Structure 1
Amino acid sequence: VGVDCAQVAAPPVEGQLRLSGGSRGRLDVYHDEQWGTVCSRGFDDSDARVACRQLGYCCGVSLGSGTDPLMGLGPVWLGYVSCVGFEQRLEYCPHVGWANSTCARSEDVAIDCLDGPSCLRRSVHVYSPGDTGLRIYVSGVTSVTPEAVQRSEAQGFFISCGTGCSKDSSAYLATSCEMAAGGPDGASTNSASLEPAGSLGLWSLTLDTSNLSLGTYFRLCLDADGNNTELSVGDAGFEVYLQVLGVDTRVVLAAPLQEVQANCSAGCNVSSTPLQVFLSIANFGCRAPLDEAQPAPVKRTHVAELSAASSTDSLWRFVVDASGLEAGARAVLCEDFDGPGPGRPGLAAGRYVYVSGTVVATSETLRRRPLQEVKLECTVGCSAVSLGFLATSCEDPTFGRSTAPANFQGVKPFFSVTLDATRLEAGFRYLLCVDLDGPDSVSARLQSGPSVGIGPFVAGVAASLTPSVLALPDQHVALTCSADCRGFSAGVSSIFLSYEPCATQTEPGTYS
């Protein structure tokens, strides 16, 4: 029997795409050993370009829904796809999860993929040249960090500038680069010179931002030749936000009524400031729109309500509904200084806020031994592939201050992880860090972060040899240590007796 191997198609693989008709038609995606479709909601030309490049074409456009007469089969696998445009595969773009949309079959998206000269010939028109009256500033700046800062008399920036920047160059911040440096109070800074920052094309800039208006975006204005007059000042193409708040909260539960604490050193007044805040998934930033029709997980929360403020207005508390955010993702606190006014939200200062699905249930003492069990509760996002470990920092665990990760064991909502604590230093309280989708799963995209609650304390004391003491001064307590019981600064450890659990006495990463 002769077999023509060239006619035997290779079996589809996870995430593979196909079109219903040549280079144009309904878009299908293969997942979980089944072909399905992609929803047209939010699917634009950026998403189509990624899909077409994955299919081997150079570019493409979205045709929306209802343009393909052939009805799709299988589930609607993807919805609310939001590609930037440079992703290698469609499944790598942000989306609401596999089969997690409410799209109808009539909303299956179709695309038109193009190749070769067709990509260049799209919408070609012939016009006569003419002066638009607009002036375009050509900037050599390719990046500016940080993009959000607080008030400071010496705020540093790093500027990447491949061409056009030199030791003669100067720059400043202003609400518009039509404004000169050192202009009206709160609207611009003084100009400062660029200094070489060690590597080719990298420059440092130090500006006094202490008088700039809070909650405002400022443009980076560049004068490439400084005091020379040949070149003019122009907009470098980047903006910097002046922050109002600094977030203090490390973690929230993916649930309603979560409190977020933030500090404000200047400019905050409860009675006169219409300040509003919300949590947004870090990948989407503070420009993520609030889409009431989008099913969970959502990109951002509703505006949080002000719960309380300290008597000095320096510590603010907000209550936010985080139940729609995806457990296991990192969020940022976004602030809108003028509330419902025309101003744009900006990124608050401080660290990420981790959206956790877990609550640590073991806060008592652990020993520096193998097979130490830590219990936790989890109602959303946890499975057998989820991992847990102890560390003083979930974002940057270091050797000697963290355990190796271990898989969750148990049945929802009660889980446990069994860890080897022999590498941990005694005398520290540790965070229970979790990675809900694990590091090796096909769709692994969530980050590790802390659980809600106070984590376990790792003690160097192995046992107390004193069963009781009298209610008198100078009572002797004898201990045995399995680890070095000397303190880090004073040379000796200190102990205390308490009616309350010792877990309330120390924060993660501190020595008792």
Structure 2
Amino acid sequence: MCEACSSATRGFLAAGDCEGLTSLVEEVEFTSHWSYEDDSNNDSTNASNDSVRNRSMVETRVPRYWSWHQQSGEGSFVPSPDLNGWMLTIDAQNLSVGYHYRLCLDVDGVGTMQGYGYTGVKAFVSPVKATDVDLPLPRARDAELQLSCPLGPSGASAFLATSCDTTLPATTRVTSLGEVRTASVPVLSAGSASACSVMLDTAHLPGGRHFTLCVGVAGSGASLGMIGLPALGDALVKVYVTPISAFTSPRGHGVVLLGQNEKLFITCSRCTGSSEVFISSGACFVGLASANSSFKSTPTFASLLLGSSSQWEAVLDTSAMPAGQAYRLCVDLDGHIDSTLGPGDSGQFVRISGVLAVSATGLAASRVTVPLQCSGCSTSTAAYLSSSCSVGPLDVISGPLRDAPVSMALDGMGGFTVTPGISGLELFRHYDLCVDLDGIGTVSESFFSGHSVFLSGLLQVLGFSTVFKAPAQPISLSCSGCIDTSKAYLGLSCGGAGGFAAALGATAKAAPTTVIRTSGTSELLSVDAALLDAGKHYVLCWQQYEQCGPGMV
């Protein structure tokens, strides 16, 4: 905090004094030896009275050590993003990593009333780039923390701690200490020019707490100007050791819909009845939750699931949040009322789908059109069917078990339809409906819509599609890809990917019947409809390849 600072304030970092900006120079400190030299030329007449007067004092300077007097470029003050302070941006390329430099400021900048002076504050030059948000890390013996090192690892070592002791030399190698810190490990290159990482043992650290990354760079080990030897420093990388190891949603793939009662089932080792979870598009900061519901859900208490101390249920209100995006799953172990721990990023992502309902969960190969209700969809929205949805920006989606995305169309009744390609799909299997709300746009991303469909090979009913409330009712079908072991029945709903066993636990239905092939593409069913209700529409459910789904309505 700087009360006297303004946008006119200038500053730089220096290894020496703060009298002003200089170029990079080599500085030598000398030890002086003094001696007398007689200038009398051995003149005997002057030797008696003038011997002292005619001697001059001569200094012989012997170098004691060499050092570099380093300074950064000069920079100006600008308001910080939260408007609660100031930021100084400087050119630090001439500085050496691993040292703590003196912060020099000229409060009135180009004014002449004040000059540069040392603030008493030092800044650590770190090989690791600082982060704006907390980095989540699991509790594990080999937890990898991915970082950015613009100039490479520089031979640095690092560890996590509740705070960094900057009085310790950079060569210090600490050991793990209970719940306070990890042991020092080397910072390693991670492949690309600027990527680096550390492999930390966090198994003994308590989940739900924040730690800071402490870094040491021994470098040449030389003392530098007025700042001395390199020392440990705070890399300004905050790490949250997450207590959440996994979560699921009823729809799967971490997807929820727009609604007031969207459930998550969370595995959390240290959660209590006071713990709260919420989702956020940015940093896990509770203060914004109530002020901006478009970007954060209101924190909600997690409820303990019966029979397990680590399984919890959370109910989220996502009704006012933009769909088609991924949100961080945030957790606060002691809740917002107690500020001891504070919220953190679990490292898990929840995605909100705008597809509210799909009217037809079964598709016949002859008529592959999916009617749906969607919030946020448009004719730019792209969709496709796949055994596994790609997550991320929508590029050209193609390959095994998927076709390229197609755009949605308005159905004229306030809804949408999409006719996805099926050339790369197998019949009689379940596929996920994958959606990107803005298509090739950059705001939304492609992911699972929360809905699946069953693709059958049934082409059409040959003759009437009406049966009587009686045994042995014939249904003649045209089918592509049907096999002799297929089975079918009429029901109000069909089983899903759980196979035929799941189908048998569905709602009231006719007894399963074996398919009888009468010709190349024609199939004959004999359905016992005696127990079905007259006047109702039933789904023709088809079981093949251990999967069961609606083949035709």
TM-score (norm 1): 0.60
Matched, 1:319 2:318: no
| Structure 1 CA distance for aligned equivalents of residues 335 and 152 of structure 2 | 39
Q: State the partner residue of 1:165.
A: 153
Q: Quote how far apart the aligned CAs of 1:456 are.
A: 0.8
Confirm or deny: 8 A CA contact 2:153 2:188 kept in the other structure: no
Confirm or deny: 8 A CA contact 1:309 1:315 kept in the other structure: yes
TM-score (norm 2): 0.56
Q: Quote how far apart the aligned CAs of 1:208 are.
A: 0.5
Confirm or deny: 8 A CA contact 2:379 2:407 kept in the other structure: no
| Structure 1 CA distance for aligned equivalents of residues 215 and 128 of structure 2 | 9
Which residue identity is paired with 1:255?
G
Percent identity (aligned): 26
Q: State the partner residue of 1:242.
A: 241
| Structure 1 CA distance for aligned equivalents of residues 319 and 204 of structure 2 | 39
Alpha carbons of structure 1 residues 207 and 255: separation in structure 2 relative to 1, 3 Å: same
Q: State the partner residue of 2:15.
A: none
Point out the structure with the larger strand share.
Answer: 2
Q: State the partner residue of 1:405.
A: 406
Which residue identity is paired with 1:138?
V
Aligned pairs (5 A) from 1:40-119:
none
- The CA RMSD measured in Å over matched residues stands at 4.3
| Structure 2 CA distance for aligned equivalents of residues 365 and 415 of structure 1 | 16
| Structure 1 CA distance for aligned equivalents of residues 479 and 141 of structure 2 | 50
Confirm or deny: 8 A CA contact 2:164 2:232 kept in the other structure: yes
1:139 is matched with which residue: 126, 144, 159? 126
Q: State the partner residue of 2:182.
A: 189
Which residue identity is paired with 1:276?
E
1:373 is matched with which residue: 369, 373, 376? 369
Confirm or deny: 8 A CA contact 1:157 1:205 kept in the other structure: yes
Confirm or deny: 8 A CA contact 2:256 2:353 kept in the other structure: yes
Larger radius of gyration: 2
Confirm or deny: 8 A CA contact 1:375 1:416 kept in the other structure: yes
| Structure 1 CA distance for aligned equivalents of residues 280 and 210 of structure 2 | 19
Moved over 4 A (4+): 59-62, 120-126, 143-146, 226-230, 291-294, 459-465, 479-485, 493-500
Q: Quote how far apart the aligned CAs of 1:225 are.
A: 2.4
Matched, 1:262 2:266: yes
- Decide which moves more: 405-414 or 323-332: 405-414
Matched, 1:251 2:255: yes
| Structure 2 CA distance for aligned equivalents of residues 182 and 484 of structure 1 | 66
| Structure 2 CA distance for aligned equivalents of residues 399 and 260 of structure 1 | 32
Confirm or deny: 8 A CA contact 1:192 1:205 kept in the other structure: yes
| Structure 1 CA distance for aligned equivalents of residues 280 and 331 of structure 2 | 10
Confirm or deny: 8 A CA contact 1:290 1:302 kept in the other structure: no
Q: State the partner residue of 1:4.
A: none
Q: State the partner residue of 1:224.
A: 217
Which residue identity is paired with 1:149?
L
Q: Quote how far apart the aligned CAs of 1:154 are.
A: 0.7
Alpha carbons of structure 1 residues 298 and 202: separation in structure 2 relative to 1, 3 Å: closer
Alpha carbons of structure 1 residues 446 and 124: separation in structure 2 relative to 1, 3 Å: farther
Residues 78-117 of structure 1, C-alpha deviations (whole Å, 9 max, x = no match): xxxxxxx9xxxxxxxxxxxxxxxxxxxxxxxxxxxxxxxx
Q: State the partner residue of 1:418.
A: 419
Confirm or deny: 8 A CA contact 1:253 1:356 kept in the other structure: yes
Matched, 1:383 2:378: yes
Q: Quote how far apart the aligned CAs of 1:212 are.
A: 0.9
Q: State the partner residue of 2:454.
A: 457
Q: State the partner residue of 2:276.
A: 276
- 5+ residue gaps, structure 1, are 1-44, 46-58, 63-84, 86-119, 466-478, 486-492
Residues 404-462 of structure 1, C-alpha deviations (whole Å, 9 max, x = no match): 2232331454332112211224464222122333336xxx622333333x411234788
Confirm or deny: 8 A CA contact 1:302 1:321 kept in the other structure: yes
| Structure 2 CA distance for aligned equivalents of residues 426 and 146 of structure 1 | 46
Q: State the partner residue of 2:232.
A: 233
Q: State the partner residue of 1:344.
A: 342
| Structure 2 CA distance for aligned equivalents of residues 60 and 159 of structure 1 | 27
Alpha carbons of structure 1 residues 348 and 291: separation in structure 2 relative to 1, 3 Å: closer
| Structure 1 CA distance for aligned equivalents of residues 118 and 376 of structure 2 | 57
Alpha carbons of structure 1 residues 291 and 308: separation in structure 2 relative to 1, 3 Å: closer
Confirm or deny: 8 A CA contact 2:380 2:407 kept in the other structure: no
Confirm or deny: 8 A CA contact 1:276 1:336 kept in the other structure: yes
Confirm or deny: 8 A CA contact 2:362 2:456 kept in the other structure: no
Which residue identity is paired with 1:280?
S
Which residue identity is paired with 2:495?
C
Alpha carbons of structure 1 residues 399 and 143: separation in structure 2 relative to 1, 3 Å: farther
| Structure 2 CA distance for aligned equivalents of residues 393 and 169 of structure 1 | 40
Q: Quote how far apart the aligned CAs of 1:503 are.
A: 2.0
Confirm or deny: 8 A CA contact 1:260 1:318 kept in the other structure: yes
SS in 1 for 2:284: helix
Confirm or deny: 8 A CA contact 1:330 1:355 kept in the other structure: no
Q: Quote how far apart the aligned CAs of 1:395 are.
A: 1.3
Aligned residues: 364
Confirm or deny: 8 A CA contact 2:126 2:235 kept in the other structure: yes
Q: State the partner residue of 1:81.
A: none
Q: Quote how far apart the aligned CAs of 1:349 are.
A: 3.1
Q: State the partner residue of 1:13.
A: none
Q: Quote how far apart the aligned CAs of 1:325 are.
A: 0.4
Alpha carbons of structure 1 residues 163 and 373: separation in structure 2 relative to 1, 3 Å: closer
Q: Quote how far apart the aligned CAs of 1:389 are.
A: 2.0
Which residue identity is paired with 2:402?
S
Q: Quote how far apart the aligned CAs of 1:227 are.
A: 12
Alpha carbons of structure 1 residues 398 and 215: separation in structure 2 relative to 1, 3 Å: farther
